[in-house]
Amino acid sequence: MTESEYARKERFIKDPISRRLGDLAVNLNRVGVFAEKNSAESVRNLIGESVRFIEWSAVDTTPEVSETLVEFQVQLARWQLTWDNCWNDQAEQQKIISATKTMSEQVLNMI
């Protein structure tokens, strides 16, 4: 972890869990927005940031919420690992848009 990433983590985890989950929900929603605008690099960055937000937040939630967040994290990580295939396939892009919007709504309901 770079010094910048460490500082970002330290700032992030100081916020109450409701704020952190809100930030995650916003990020997940932005994935869909930027995907619709065909901004591959922005989407990739938001997915990576969302994975980190979950890593930094799940420990401070209930077991049920944590389980759901980790399931989201696994899916986001899968997209990261297969990014070129996902992004170059219109159907996969639509799945990402739909899934991240659903994830965002579910995270908002956790608050």
- Taking residues 60-84, report their average pLDDT: 96
* Nearest-10 Cα torsion for 34, 69, 23, 55: -100
Q: pLDDT tier at 81 (50, 70, 90 boundaries)?
A: very high
pTM to 2 decimal places: 0.94
Q: Residue 51 is inside which H or E element, if any?
A: helix 40-57
Residues 16-36 have pLDDT tens digits of: 999 999 999 999 999 989 998
> Quick one: pLDDT at residue 8?
92
- Taking residues 66-71, report their average pLDDT: 98
d(CA 77, CA 62): 22
